A and B are shown apart, each in its own frame.
Chain A
Amino acid sequence: MHKKILLFNIFVLLYNIAIAQETYEAGTLPKLNASASISELWEVNFKAESQLIFSRGEFGGGSGVRQFNHNRTELALGLERKTSYNTAITGGYLLRMDERKPSHRLFQQFSLVRQYGSFNLSHRFASDQTFSIGRGNEYRIRYRVSTSLPLNGEKIDLKETYLKFSHEYLGSLLKRNTALEIRNLAALGYVTGTKNKIEGGFSYRAEKVFQSITNSEFWIYLAFYFDLDK
C-alpha cells in the first residue's frame, strides 16, 4: 500500500516536471491545533495555520524568487461529535486571510481511526465550500489516510517519539473548472508529558495534477497539538 502511494507520487512529480509547465513554492507551514471536550460526545477544535514562502518560481530555467512572503493564514473553529469510540463527524467555519480580501469556508468531515497492532490508521472524508469576493466560490471533496507508529514499544506513550505519514487527495470545482491536488506528509512527532504533541517534517503538495500548468509545493511542516482535557 505504502509502496503504491510512493510510486504514484514519484510518477506525479516526474509527470509534472517532464510534461507540464511546472511552477513551485517552498516555505514553512506552522500549525497550531487545540481541542477541548464539552461533554463525552462533543468537542471543540481550533486550528491556526500559516504559509510562509521562502522561494517560488518555475522549474527548468525559469527564474526563481527568493523572498520572505506571508502567503496566507487560516483560522478555523470546528464542532466535533463522536459517533462511536473511533468515529466522529465535524462541522465548522474557517477564515482565510491573504493579500486579498478574506475568504470564508464551511467544512464538514467524517473520520475513522483504527488500531492495527502498534500503528494507528485514520481515514478522513471531508468536503468544504469556500466563499470569497472576486475569486468565485470553490467546492472541494477530500480524502486523507494518515498513520502514526511509535519508535519505541507497541503504543505511543507520553514522552515518546513517533512517525507520522499522511496522503491526501483533494478534488475541487471553481468556476466550472475542476482540479486535483495531492498532499503528502512525513513527520516526526513527540508526545509531551502533558499529552500535547509536537510534530516536525516535510510536506509535498502537487496542485493541478495532470493539467498543462501544475504547481509543486515543498513545505517544512511544524505543528503543535494541544489537548486541553488533562
Chain B
Amino acid sequence: MASQRFFLKTLLFLLFLSFCALSAAGQVKYEKEIRIDMNQVPEKALNFIKNSGIDSKVKWHKELNIDNTSIEAKTTFQSTKYSIEFDTLGNLQDVEFIINFQDLPDKTQAKIEKQFDSLFSRYKIIKTQTQFSGPPQIIQQLLKDTKPSDDYITRYEIVMGGKEKKIMRKFEILTNESGEILQRNRIRPKNMDNLIY
C-alpha cells in the first residue's frame, strides 16, 4: 500500500508538471516551417519554377520566423537537391543547392581551409551549399545550365563543426565566391533528451 501511495504521488506530480508545460505553451516566440499546398504558393513563385525547366516534384514550405515569412520550394533536380526561396509575394530571394566541398574551385577551397585553420584547432565540414542570387531570368538560365547573360552573385554556405577554446561547436559559414568569410553564425544544438534519455 505504501508503494502504491508513493506511485500515486509521483503520478500526480508528473501530471501537475505536464499541465504547467502545456499551459505555458505560446509564451515564447518561435520559428516554424510547415508544408503548404501548391494553391497557397504565390503565382510568381510558381511561374519561376515553371520557367526554370524543373520537371521534378516540388515540395512547398512556408518558413515563419520572428522577423519575416518566406516561401521555399524544395526539389531534387538532375540528382541535385535544390532549395529555392521566395518572399511572400513570390519574388525570388536565392537558390541554394548541395554540393561536395571538393567540387568548389581549388582556389576557393584553399582560401576557406586556410581561414578555418586559423579559426579552429580542428574542424569537420558537414554540408556545403552553393547560393545564387540575382535577377530571376539569370537564375533561370543558371538552372537550365545555360550561360547567363548578366551578372549574378555566387556565395557558399558551409555547415561545419569547429573546435575553438577546446569546445567543438557547430557553425554556419557564409563565404563569397572567392572563399572569403562574410558571416559566421553559431548553430545552437537542439535539445535531444527525448532521444538520449
Contact = CB atoms under 8 A, between A and B. Distances in A.
Interface in B114-131: none
A59 B34 CA distance: 46
B33 A157 contact: yes
Contact of B32 (A158, A164, A166, A192): A158
Interface string B16-30: 011001101111101
B194 A193 contact: no
Interface stretch (A13-21, A81-89, A133-141, A169-177): A81-89
B17 A85 contact: no
Interface residues of A, number: 62
B74 A192 contact: no
A156 to B, nearest CB: 8
Given A52-B7, A198-B18, 17 more contacts: A30-B10, A33-B193, A33-B194, A33-B197, A45-B197, A70-B6, A73-B10, A83-B168, A85-B189, A154-B74, A157-B31, A166-B195, A194-B21, A196-B24, A225-B193, A225-B194, A227-B191
A62 interface: no
Contacts of A33: 193-194, 197
Given A41-B167, A50-B11, A226-B17, A35 B34 contact: no
Interface residues of B, number: 39
A143 B139 CA distance: 48
- Of the listed residues A73, A120, A153, the one surrounded by the most CB atoms of chain B closer than 10 A to its CB is A153
A230 interface: yes
Interface in B141-197: 161, 167-170, 187, 189, 191-197
A98 B3 CA distance: 7
24 contacts: A30-B10, A33-B197, A35-B191, A35-B197, A48-B10, A73-B6, A85-B169, A85-B189, A86-B170, A148-B195, A152-B34, A157-B33, A157-B34, A192-B21, A193-B27, A194-B21, A194-B27, A195-B28, A195-B191, A196-B21, A196-B24, A198-B22, A224-B17, A225-B193
B10 A160 contact: no
Contacts of B38: none
A148 B194 contact: yes
Contacts of B195: 111, 113, 120, 122, 146-148, 164, 166
B14 interface: yes
A14 to B, nearest CB: 29
Contacts of A193: 24-28, 30
B197 to A, nearest CB: 5
A70 B3 contact: yes
A153 B26 contact: no
